[in-house]
Amino acid sequence: MNKPQILIVEDDNAVANLIAATLETQDYAYKRAQTGAQAVIEAVSCKPDVVLLDLGLPDMDGVDIIKKIRSWSAMPIIVVSARSEDFDKVSALDAGADDYLTKPFSVDELLARLRVALRRVRYDGTRVGEESSVYENGLLKIDYSAGCVFVSGKEVHLTPIEYKLLCLLAKNTGKVLTHNYILKEVWGSPTASDVSSLRVYMATLRRKLEKSSGGVQYIQTHIGIGYRMLNNGK
């Protein structure tokens, strides 16, 4: 099996060296880029499995790099940045980043986020060329053709909005979806007041799933940002 290939985009050598050393302990292969221009070239030429991206680069903002990569690729992008404001997180995620890790970060957390991204790469790869009509994640099963949801083999009755929300999260398992993105996809034209409605729907959806699964968590809340479907499979 080929080693996962990670692209480290970081202009701070100390941080880049720490990330590189961490990747080596897990036998991951990696490339390094210190500027946005180098990052785009490496992403195009090497097609890494995951990009670890700092936002504060000397030649361009990391959000612009995300947009450039997203114009031609769906490769997972994990932002690793000292910018901790919600605005910066939302901007990066709305531009197409899959996850956001704030500096200083723990090595264990970085590796955990990487494993989630790599699982998504493998999951997406198994679906290429086939139209999957069933989604399975641990005890959760969505039968798209029948429009039914099952947990532990028992049907869970959802409202149409709850079902649309669940399908959207399932399609993006492991990825943080911002409030704005979810509202646009489900409601079409989001307004600030819709966020409170979204929270109510998500709380009800989570309660139904967790009640049926014996407390297994499927939906993770990122306060002030959005939601993520957790991968409860192997």
E strands present in the chain: 5-9, 29-33, 50-53, 77-81, 99-102, 134-137, 140-143, 148-151, 154-155, 176-178, 219-222, 226-229
| The two three-digit tokens of residue 204, written as one number | 């009800």
pLDDT digits (tens, 9 = 90+) for 28-81: 999 999 999 999 999 989 899 999 999 999 999 999 999 999 888 888 999 999
What burial class does residue 234 get, using C-beta atoms within 10 Å of its C-beta: 0-12 exposed, 13-18 middle, 19+ buried?
A: exposed
CB neighbours (10 Å) of residue 28?
18
| pLDDT tens-place values along the chain, 234 residues long | 578 999 999 999 999 999 999 999 999 999 999 999 999 999 989 899 999 999 999 999 999 999 999 888 888 999 999 988 888 999 999 898 989 999 988 999 999 889 888 887 765 554 433 446 888 988 999 998 788 999 989 999 998 889 999 999 998 888 899 998 899 888 876 666 688 889 999 999 999 998 887 878 899 999 889 999 998 764
| Beta bridge pairs of residue 31 | 7
Q: What is the pTM of this model?
A: 0.72
Q: Are 25 and 50 in contact (CB under 8 A)?
A: no
Ordered by where they begin, the domains of the chain are 5-126 (3.40.50.2300), 133-229 (1.10.10.10)
Percent of the chain with pLDDT over 70: 92
Residue 94 CA to residue 181 CA, distance in Å, equals: 7
